[in-house]
């Protein structure tokens, strides 16, 4: 079997020990080299890099010099949040494939890869369980005032009546509208079935037949917004989905409905959401992602009574880094097996 050179870039989140799982590919003829991206030392660096990529694009993200110095003879690159930009690609004369060990691919110049006809693989399901767990938890926390009550009790206050007192609901009496039905949205639906919630779905990128196989109802966006007690967004951020939720959409929601965002800040017009909450046009919100992170002092969200905030934690799980590498290993096993079969056919 022909040896193929794979360069794996670990960091402070997917550590060297976890990335070592890639050595399983040596059974498939791979020679594994591992290097460190010392610009990404911890989870905070990861979220900062993701926000930079989301807001300013791959061209603004720094090049990992260690990667640049070690990539020229490698045929496959495996990265987490490290940039695979045009500078890196120009240095990789033998590159055959790129693997990103996260759901998004913003840290790769995908258009440049496409020009070079180099396949890109990612760990699209790596955070699906963590984020879907968080989305359901955020619904319950906002509806049942869990975070607010905890905060008041820390202050020595025993509060029994809240701003949403007249519309605190049982989940089995609620309709939950899911905007987006990919890996995360579909898992949210599955978990909500255990609560006996009615589930509505709007996703212009997934076929009605595929969604309805799971026993949920597909509706148009207007109907979802007008009838749901919770609206949870699970779209990928793109030019088509930027500020998908704006003034018009919040105005269509019930005055008692909750908006949940564990996806991307850019999907939401922050000013429109702030106004909707402040003016009680919607019942409340639970938000994990923000246009600016950390959330700055004086941000209007911090003065609202009808919002639950978490510090970009939805995808955080000790299982996620290991799962990321497991997915990457499996995808590369499949890739290397196909390559070996094609080589045998040519022989």
**In this structure, what CATH number is given to the domain that contains residue 338?**
3.40.50.720
What is the per-residue pLDDT across 162-208, written as a single tens digit (0 to 9) for each?
999 999 999 999 999 999 999 999 999 999 999 999 999 999 889 99
Please indicate, yes or no, whether residues 134 and 264 belong to a single structural domain of this protein: yes
Using CA atoms, how far apart are residues 280 and 343, in angstroms rounded to an integer?
64
Please indicate, yes or no, whether residues 144 and 287 belong to a single structural domain of this protein: yes
3-class DSSP state for residue 182? coil
Counted domains in the chain:
2
Please indicate, yes or no, whether residues 266 and 153 belong to a single structural domain of this protein: yes
Please indicate, yes or no, whether residues 211 and 334 belong to a single structural domain of this protein: no
Domain hosting 25: range is 4-126+318-346
3-class DSSP state for residue 320? helix
Please indicate, yes or no, whether residues 231 and 111 belong to a single structural domain of this protein: no
Please indicate, yes or no, whether residues 258 and 218 belong to a single structural domain of this protein: yes
Please indicate, yes or no, whether residues 192 and 233 belong to a single structural domain of this protein: yes
Please indicate, yes or no, whether residues 115 and 139 belong to a single structural domain of this protein: no
Residue 39 has, within 13 A of its CA and on its CB side, a CA count of 15
What is the per-residue pLDDT across 216-257, written as a single tens digit (0 to 9) for each?
999 999 999 999 999 999 998 889 999 999 999 999 999 999
User: Looking at beta carbons, which pairs linking 150-158 to residues 24 or more positions away fall under 8 Å?
Assistant: none
Please indicate, yes or no, whether residues 89 and 202 belong to a single structural domain of this protein: no
The total of other beta-carbon atoms located within 10 Å of residue 151's CB is 12
Residues with a known catalytic role: 264, 293, 312
CA dist 274 → 245, 278, 279, 285, 286 (Å): 12, 6, 8, 10, 12
1 pLDDT band, cuts 50/70/90, is low
Please indicate, yes or no, whether residues 106 and 65 belong to a single structural domain of this protein: yes
Is 55 or 273 the better-scoring residue by pLDDT?
A: 273
Please indicate, yes or no, whether residues 146 and 267 belong to a single structural domain of this protein: yes
CA dist 203 → 47, 63, 136, 177 (Å): 26, 35, 19, 11
Please indicate, yes or no, whether residues 273 and 150 belong to a single structural domain of this protein: yes
């Amino acid at each position: 079997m022909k040896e193929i050179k794979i360069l794996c870039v670990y960091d402070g989140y997917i550590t060297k020990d976890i990335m070592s799982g890639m050595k399983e590919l040596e059974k498939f003829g791979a020679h594994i080299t591992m290097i460190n991206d010392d610009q990404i030392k911890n989870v905070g660096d990861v979220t900062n890099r993701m926000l930079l990529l989301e807001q300013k694009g791959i061209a603004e993200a720094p090049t990992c010099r260690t990667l640049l110095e070690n990539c020229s003879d490698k045929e496959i690159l495996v990265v987490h949040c490290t940039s695979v930009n045009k500078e890196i690609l120009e240095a990789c004369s033998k590159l055959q494939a790129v693997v990103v060990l996260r759901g998004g691919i913003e840290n790769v110049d995908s258009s440049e890869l496409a020009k070079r006809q180099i396949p890109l693989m990612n760990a699209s399901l790596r955070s699906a369980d963590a984020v879907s767990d968080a989305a359901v938890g955020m619904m319950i926390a906002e509806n049942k005032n869990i975070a607010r009550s905890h905060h008041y009790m820390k202050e020595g206050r025993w509060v029994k009546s809240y701003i949403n007192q007249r519309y605190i609901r049982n989940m089995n009496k609620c309709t939950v509208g899911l905007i987006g039905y990919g890996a995360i949205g579909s898992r949210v639906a599955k978990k909500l079935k255990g609560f006996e919630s009615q589930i509505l779905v709007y996703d212009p990128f997934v076929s009605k037949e595929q969604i309805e196989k799971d026993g949920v109802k597909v509706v148009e966006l207007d109907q979802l917004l007008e009838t749901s007690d919770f609206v949870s967004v699970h779209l990928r951020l793109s030019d088509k989905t930027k500020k998908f939720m704006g003034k018009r959409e919040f105005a269509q929601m019930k005055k008692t409905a909750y908006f949940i965002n564990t996806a991307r800040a850019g999907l939401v017009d922050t000013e429109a959401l702030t106004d909707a909450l402040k003016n009680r046009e919607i019942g409340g919100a639970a938000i994990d992602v923000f246009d600016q992170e950390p959330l700055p002092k004086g941000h209007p969200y911090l003065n609202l009574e009808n919002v639950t905030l978490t510090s970009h934690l939805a995808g955080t799980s000790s299982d996620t880094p290991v799962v990321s590498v497991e997915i990457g290993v499996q995808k590369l096993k499949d890739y290397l097996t196909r390559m070996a079969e094609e080589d045998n056919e040519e022989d």
